[in-house]
Amino acid sequence: MIQPSLVWFRRDLRLEDQPALAAAINHGRPVIPIYIADESDQSDWPPGAASRWWLHHSLDRLSNELTSLGSRLIIRQGDALSQLIAAIDETHAQAVFWTRCYEPASILRDSRVKSELRNRGITAESFNGQLLFEPWEVQTKEGRPYQVFTPFWKSCLNRNPPEQPLPRPRRLAPPDQWPGSLMLDQLGLLPTISWDSGLKSSWQTGTNSAATELERFLESTVFDYDVARDQPARRGTSRLSPYLHFGEISPRTIWQATHRLVKEQGGGRETKGADTFLKEIGWREFAYHLLFHFPKTTREPLRTEFLRFPWREDADGLAAWQRGQTGYPIVDAGMRELWNTGWMHNRVRMITASFLVKDLLIPWQRGTEWFWDTLVDADLASNTLGWQWTAGCGADAAPYFRFFNPISQSEKFDPNGEYLRRWLPELRHLPSEFLHAPWTAPENVLEEAAVRLGKTYPYPIVDHNEARIRALQALSQIKQPK
């Protein structure tokens, strides 16, 4: 009997550029792919509803891909270490390979798994498949972690460039004996009440879809990305974030494909758009760098003076924000896009986040929790970075006194109101000059557009100018001597 190797899939649900899978193949033994639904690695951040939906369909596609290679996906549920040991006992496997995760609870769990397996004489190895650079590889001259993006990214770019992606295997040698497996439906990842029609119509999961999205973006948008990314009405972003989060595409695949295109077509062509896009990959790297070095920031501000900030718990305001009923069209459009599709345009994410923490003074943690549950690309590192950046309490954060004015932002980035009309059909007949602030429209204009403020669309739940003054007063309290 040839003793097999286990490949423990987590958030690396692909066969292309899969270093753990490549290591198992190079080990020269039959390969058993295994996925373990172990939410202990998420600690107090179990996957949200939208993420669970994506995970189900991604696992289904991975399972089909493995079947096409003469293999299969073994599905287990429970404590990862216990399930791995059980699979080892059933199959007499002598090696386990996996791709590293960087969330605090995952690091603790993986260390325990590696130590215990090695104590049992099992080869246990982990690999980098999520990032371009390991978080501990990039340091300041003093050997400390970076807290500002620009020098961090400059340091990354001065390192050796990412290697070429690994090829997809043509076949996987099956073991003499397969261990027991659950059916995918037994994990209970899909909603019991059908609320996911918008997700179904907006997304196709899996590696093929990831490759299609990358190709679309590179062919149509990347050279214009620096401008297109701020226009929510157009498909001006890559929309690769959920595929990256679930590992259906690797960052170095994106990196190398973008560089290859620039080399082939960029001669004499402005490459600012492509450079800006790659910098966004850098922001993702920075988010993981911060999460690794400052794990408490998922719940606590990096800038400790913000522990004294006088946030307000406002259940009604939070509910209005969540439902897209704030009375500010750009905020409401974004929140409705999120609820319907599991995704929100990045420019609008900043506007909606700023409204919550600055106009309403609601703690940024309430925002992270809502985004975590509703985003298909909910990523602990990026979610934490984004919210702390908006709140002014994190690394390289926007100053708290810098506000996103929801009216001027809407007028600037959606001047014709295409995005607003798409997600706020009750306002679609308003002229563009009043669409961004419906309460400023004359009564006859509102009547003609069939808009009844307070009935068909709410009045603003807060005056932005007054809210700005209130927020600055709150900020002054943490600047006072203790």
The residue from 387, 389, 405, 423 that is catalytic is 387
With a cut of 80, say whether residue 395 has pLDDT above it.
yes
d(CA 214, CA 254): 7
Is 283 tagged catalytic? yes
With a cut of 60, say whether residue 402 has pLDDT above it.
yes
Where does the pLDDT of residue 41 fall: very low under 50, low under 70, confident under 90, or very high at 90 and above?
Answer: low
d(CA 43, CA 376): 19
Where does the pLDDT of residue 265 fall: very low under 50, low under 70, confident under 90, or very high at 90 and above?
Answer: confident
Which CATH architecture best describes the domain 304-479?
Orthogonal Bundle (1.10)
11-26 pLDDT tens trace = 999 999 999 999 999 9
Give residue 228's pLDDT: 94
> Which one, of 136, 64, 49, lies nearest residue 100 by Cα?
136
Classified as helix, coil or strand, 456 is: coil
Q: What angle do CA 33, 34, 35 make, to 5 degrees?
A: 135
| Average model confidence (pLDDT) across the chain | 95
CA 7 to chain centre: 24
Give residue 396's pLDDT: 77
Q: How many helices (H) and strands (E) does the chain have?
A: 21, 5
- DSSP code, position 326: S
Cα torsion through 95, 100, 102, 105, rounded to 10: -20
328-359 pLDDT tens trace = 999 999 999 999 999 999 999 999 999 999 99
Give residue 398's pLDDT: 65
> Which one, of 207, 191, 187, lies nearest residue 199 by Cα?
191
Is 98 tagged catalytic? no
Where does the pLDDT of residue 400 fall: very low under 50, low under 70, confident under 90, or very high at 90 and above?
Answer: low
The residue from 300, 346, 369, 439 that is catalytic is 346
418-457 pLDDT tens trace = 999 999 999 999 999 999 999 999 999 999 999 999 999 9
With a cut of 70, say whether residue 243 has pLDDT above it.
yes
- Answer for the pair 182, 63: CB distance below 8 angstroms, yes or no: no
Dihedral sign of CA atoms 33, 127, 15, 60 in order: positive
CATH number 1.25.40.80 given to 131-166+206-293: yes
Is 466 tagged catalytic? no
Cβ neighbours of residue 204 closer than 8 Å, sequence gap 6 or more? 212
The residue from 45, 53, 203, 364 that is catalytic is 364
Helices (H), ranges, 294-417? 315-323, 329-341, 346-354, 364-374, 380-391, 406-413
The residue from 90, 134, 178, 311 that is catalytic is 311
Q: What is the mean pLDDT of residues 33-55?
A: 87
d(CA 457, CA 426): 7
142-195 pLDDT tens trace = 999 999 999 999 999 999 999 999 999 999 999 999 999 999 999 999 998 888
The residue from 90, 125, 134, 280 that is catalytic is 280
Give residue 193's pLDDT: 85
369-383 pLDDT tens trace = 999 999 999 999 999
Give residue 192's pLDDT: 87
Tokens (6 digits) for 85: 């040991």
With a cut of 80, say whether residue 482 has pLDDT above it.
no
How many residues in total does the chain contain? 482
The residue from 90, 125, 283, 411 that is catalytic is 283
Tokens (6 digits) for 188: 């209970």
Q: What is the mean pLDDT of residues 276-294?
A: 97
Is 387 tagged catalytic? yes
Give residue 403's pLDDT: 87
With a cut of 80, say whether residue 42 has pLDDT above it.
no
Is 203 tagged catalytic? no
Give residue 478's pLDDT: 84
Q: Return the CA Rg of the chain.
A: 24
Where does the pLDDT of residue 322 fall: very low under 50, low under 70, confident under 90, or very high at 90 and above?
Answer: very high
d(CA 181, CA 164): 34
Could you tell me the residue ranges of all domains in the chain? 5-130, 131-166+206-293, 304-479
Q: pLDDT over 70 for what percent of the chain?
A: 97
Where does the pLDDT of residue 269 fall: very low under 50, low under 70, confident under 90, or very high at 90 and above?
Answer: low
Please identify which residue in the block is written with the tokens 């605090």.
104
Give residue 100's pLDDT: 97
Where does the pLDDT of residue 411 fall: very low under 50, low under 70, confident under 90, or very high at 90 and above?
Answer: very high
d(CA 217, CA 214): 5
Cβ neighbours of residue 461 closer than 8 Å, sequence gap 6 or more? 316, 317, 320, 325, 326, 327, 360
- Which one is the CATH code of 5-130: 3.40.50.620, 3.30.70.20, 3.30.2010.10, 2.40.420.20? 3.40.50.620
- DSSP code, position 453: B
d(CA 62, CA 92): 24
- DSSP code, position 36: E
Tokens (6 digits) for 95: 């090696």
Is 439 tagged catalytic? no
Give residue 271's pLDDT: 87
Q: pLDDT over 90 for what percent of the chain?
A: 92
Q: Percentage helix, strand, coil, to 5, in the chain? A: 55, 5, 40
> Which one, of 38, 48, 46, 44, lies nearest residue 10 by Cα?
38
Q: Identify any residues that bridge with 124 across adjacent strands, giving them in sequence order.
A: 96
